[in-house]
A and B are shown apart, each in its own frame.
Chain A
Amino acid sequence: MQRKAGTLTPLEVTILEMAIDLAIRGQREFHGFLLAKEIKARRGALFRTAYGPLYKALDRMEANGLLSSQWEDAAVAGQERRPRRCYYRVTASGQRALELAGQAGQEPGLKASEA
């Protein structure tokens, strides 16, 4: 989807909203699957959001300074015998961008493919 100047795509708005929602519930960091699961639950969709559009949006948002990411400590993942997670966190710029999007009347997107 072609982004208009100074605006967020619907998926980016959704990601920021989800991330802030998770932070309010005490989870300041999130990984890809958790985000996909939350989006699915919120939309009441049959299938979860595909990883391709999700990662593309996350990468772009990180590049734009809306999110920051950090790899999980290998020892923690090793203890739980699972692959390491990449945790994302909303930055101050991300919060500000969401506020601006809200003021501009942007609605959260319904289709992940629009990212």
Chain B
Amino acid sequence: MSTVLTRTAFRLPVVWAHLYTLGLPAAEREGRVLKVKSDVYEQHAALELEQPGRGRAFVVLEVLFCLLASVYADLSWRFVRGHSLRIEAVKAGQHLFPASAVVPLGIATLVAATKLSTIHDLTGLDHLVTTVALVLGPLLTMVSLLLARATPVTAMVGVTSGCMLLAVATWATIVGPLASGVSGVAGLLFVMEHWQAARSGEDGLPELNLSRETREPEPLDGEEDFAMTNKLERWLSLGAIVWAVGVIMVFIAPGGQDAGKTDEEILNFYADVNATEAYLGVLGITLGGLGLLLFFGALYASLRRAERGSGFLSLLTVAGAVIFVGFFVLQTAFSNLVAISLSYQEEFKAAGVDPQIVRLFGNLAFLSINIAAMGGALAAGCSAIVALRSGQVLNRWFAWSGAAIAALLLVTFPLFGMPVLLFTIWVFLLGLWRLVRWPAATDEATALQAA
């Protein structure tokens, strides 16, 4: 292995340290980077001396392994530090506009303006929805950047601007709204984070002393980590609301046709189908599915604490949620695929719609929604059992209704998919409840932790 490659491998941890400390105060940043630089230097020197027989390949492998194994810990450390600094900044009345945000915001605005100027074949509601999505995304990002401090923004803006650049590069209709959507979600997150930080400051949280020299020893109780975990769990409940929005978008989409329809009915349906609505439906449920997974991830953390032991039921809850989301997205895709293909694939359009293909996709969609329902039953049922057994996480109304919905989901087929809708409403209300009633839930969790 060449010396250049070895040197490059040893530089990677330092480059990574520069990246994840972006936005931190200069002294703190320099301190962390210098520690990494020093340790990498020592490691390089020691491995060359102590293990010459292993060769450079082993050295590089070890450096890369350690780098990968560090990513999670580095990012979580950065997240906690960023949060503390934001609270400090808000309390000090600093509302900074980071200069580094100008470029991504400029790109966002450029993309939005360009896309708006090229939309000419959309009418009515489609035009309105697309316009709002394109304008709202960059606008929300801009507002949030004005409100929030630059610390965590750097990373998220990187993602947003990356999407925007992708949109410009590919010039695709599909990527434009997606980029604006990511931008909008990032914007909303930062607004909420700022609001939360401001609220924490007003509530008189303990002063955060960032000076190492004067920092008093804190009690060894893991309070800070636990508080951060709780906040994440609470705000990830928003995923349930995102999911509900995604489901509404599915209802707006044209969907497919039942296998029992005649050829003529099928052909008439596809003669005047709206492909943009079909596409937005698939996009909406995909983003909604991600939201639902985040929600169930947070719910898992709460269930796991309450269940104790092996955590088997909590794990089954998440597994059920993954099955539900996966097959629900597939169902939506199968239902809308013909409409999308008709609009975006010239070859498909030229050949015309084959009613048998439509029936095939209809059956696949039907099969998928029934499999999704089984996953939903697992998720609702297991979470209800944990809640009822432990008396925590969900109140008894949610627990019993969850158990009932789980039972209904098992018989989705004869009930025309209604249990899936009930499950969505249950998830939505549960998300709202966890958001609004979180202080009570936190008390329970803290009591459990102390126990």
Is A13 at the interface (CB under 8 A from chain B)?
Answer: no
Flag B7-49 by CB within 8 Å of A: 1 or 0 each. 0000001000000000000000001101111110111011000
Report yes or no: A3 in contact with B217, Cβ–Cβ below 8 A: no
| Residues of the A chain whose Cβ atoms lie less than 8 Å from the Cβ of B220 | 6-8, 64, 66, 97
Flag A29-41 by CB within 8 Å of B: 1 or 0 each. 0011110110000
> Which of the residues B34, B46, B222, B229 comes within 8 Å of A84, measured between beta carbons?
B34
Report yes or no: A2 in contact with B38, Cβ–Cβ below 8 A: no
Assuming the contacts A2-B225, A47-B65, asked whether A65 and B34 have C-beta atoms less than 8 A apart, the reply is: no
Report yes or no: B42 in contact with A50, Cβ–Cβ below 8 A: no
Q: Interface size for chain A: under 10, 10 to 19, 20 to 34, or 35 or more residues?
A: 35 or more
> Which residue of chain B has its CB nearest to the CB of A40?
B62
| Residues of the B chain whose Cβ atoms lie less than 8 Å from the Cβ of A66 | 220
Please measure, in the bound complex, the distance between the C-alpha atom of A111 and the C-alpha atom of B219, giving whole angstroms: 24
Report yes or no: B35 in contact with A86, Cβ–Cβ below 8 A: yes
> Which residue of chain A has its CB nearest to the CB of B229?
A2
> Which of the residues B46, B77, B216 comes within 8 Å of A56, measured between beta carbons?
B77
Q: Interface size for chain B: under 10, 10 to 19, 20 to 34, or 35 or more residues?
A: 35 or more
Report yes or no: A51 in contact with B66, Cβ–Cβ below 8 A: yes
Please measure, in the bound complex, the distance between the C-alpha atom of A62 and the C-alpha atom of B212, giving whole angstroms: 9
Please measure, in the bound complex, the distance between the C-alpha atom of A8 and the C-alpha atom of B68, giving whole angstroms: 25
Report yes or no: B225 in contact with A3, Cβ–Cβ below 8 A: yes
Considering the complex, which residues of chain A in the window 37-64 have a beta carbon less than 8 Å from any beta carbon of chain B? 37, 47-53, 55-56, 59, 62-64
Flag B204-236 by CB within 8 Å of A: 1 or 0 each. 000000001001111111100110010000000
Report yes or no: B69 in contact with A86, Cβ–Cβ below 8 A: no
> Which of the residues A4, A83, A112 comes within 8 Å of B37, measured between beta carbons?
A83
A-B pair count, CB < 8 Å, reads 110
Report yes or no: B46 in contact with A33, Cβ–Cβ below 8 A: yes
Is A20 at the interface (CB under 8 A from chain B)?
Answer: no
Is B265 at the interface (CB under 8 A from chain A)?
Answer: no
Report yes or no: B36 in contact with A5, Cβ–Cβ below 8 A: no
> Which residue of chain A has its CB nearest to the CB of B69?
A50
Assuming the contacts A51-B39, A51-B66, asked whether A65 and B218 have C-beta atoms less than 8 A apart, the reply is: yes
Report yes or no: B38 in contact with A31, Cβ–Cβ below 8 A: yes
Report yes or no: A32 in contact with B38, Cβ–Cβ below 8 A: yes
Assuming the contacts A3-B222, A52-B69, asked whether A82 and B217 have C-beta atoms less than 8 A apart, the reply is: no
| Residues of the A chain whose Cβ atoms lie less than 8 Å from the Cβ of B13 | 51
Report yes or no: B222 in contact with A2, Cβ–Cβ below 8 A: yes
Please measure, in the bound complex, the distance between the C-alpha atom of A52 and the C-alpha atom of B229, giving whole angstroms: 19
Is A115 at the interface (CB under 8 A from chain B)?
Answer: yes
Is A27 at the interface (CB under 8 A from chain B)?
Answer: no
| Residues of the B chain whose Cβ atoms lie less than 8 Å from the Cβ of A84 | 34, 38
| Residues of the A chain whose Cβ atoms lie less than 8 Å from the Cβ of B268 | none
Assuming the contacts A48-B66, A50-B66, A82-B38, asked whether A55 and B32 have C-beta atoms less than 8 A apart, the reply is: yes
Please measure, in the bound complex, the distance between the C-alpha atom of A5 and the C-alpha atom of B219, giving whole angstroms: 10
| Residues of the A chain whose Cβ atoms lie less than 8 Å from the Cβ of B67 | 50
> Which residue of chain A has its CB nearest to the CB of B13?
A51
| Residues of the A chain whose Cβ atoms lie less than 8 Å from the Cβ of B216 | 65
| Residues of the A chain whose Cβ atoms lie less than 8 Å from the Cβ of B73 | 50, 52-53, 55-56, 113, 115
Report yes or no: B225 in contact with A31, Cβ–Cβ below 8 A: no
| Residues of the B chain whose Cβ atoms lie less than 8 Å from the Cβ of A115 | 73
Is B449 at the interface (CB under 8 A from chain A)?
Answer: yes
B160 CB, min distance to chain A CBs, angstroms: 25
Is B71 at the interface (CB under 8 A from chain A)?
Answer: yes
Flag B420-451 by CB within 8 Å of A: 1 or 0 each. 00000000000000000000000000000110
Please measure, in the bound complex, the distance between the C-alpha atom of A32 and the C-alpha atom of B73, giving whole angstroms: 15
| Residues of the A chain whose Cβ atoms lie less than 8 Å from the Cβ of B69 | 50, 52-53, 112-113
| Residues of the A chain whose Cβ atoms lie less than 8 Å from the Cβ of B222 | 2-5
Assuming the contacts A47-B62, A55-B32, A56-B73, asked whether A4 and B449 have C-beta atoms less than 8 A apart, the reply is: yes
Report yes or no: A63 in contact with B39, Cβ–Cβ below 8 A: no
Report yes or no: A33 in contact with B38, Cβ–Cβ below 8 A: yes
| Residues of the A chain whose Cβ atoms lie less than 8 Å from the Cβ of B32 | 55
Top-4 shortest CB links A-B: A65-B217, A52-B70, A52-B73, A3-B222
Name 29 interchain pairs, CB-CB below 8 A, sorted by A: A3-B222, A5-B221, A6-B221, A31-B38, A31-B39, A32-B39, A33-B43, A34-B42, A47-B66, A49-B66, A50-B65, A50-B73, A51-B66, A52-B69, A52-B71, A52-B73, A56-B73, A56-B74, A56-B76, A56-B77, A64-B217, A65-B216, A66-B220, A82-B45, A86-B31, A86-B35, A113-B69, A113-B72, A113-B73
Binding site for A on B (CB under 8 A): 13, 31-32, 34-39, 41-43, 45-46, 62, 65-74, 76-77, 212, 215-222, 225-226, 229, 449-450
A36-B39, A86-B34 given; 8 more Cβ-contact pairs under 8 Å: A32-B39, A36-B43, A48-B66, A50-B70, A56-B76, A82-B38, A83-B41, A85-B42
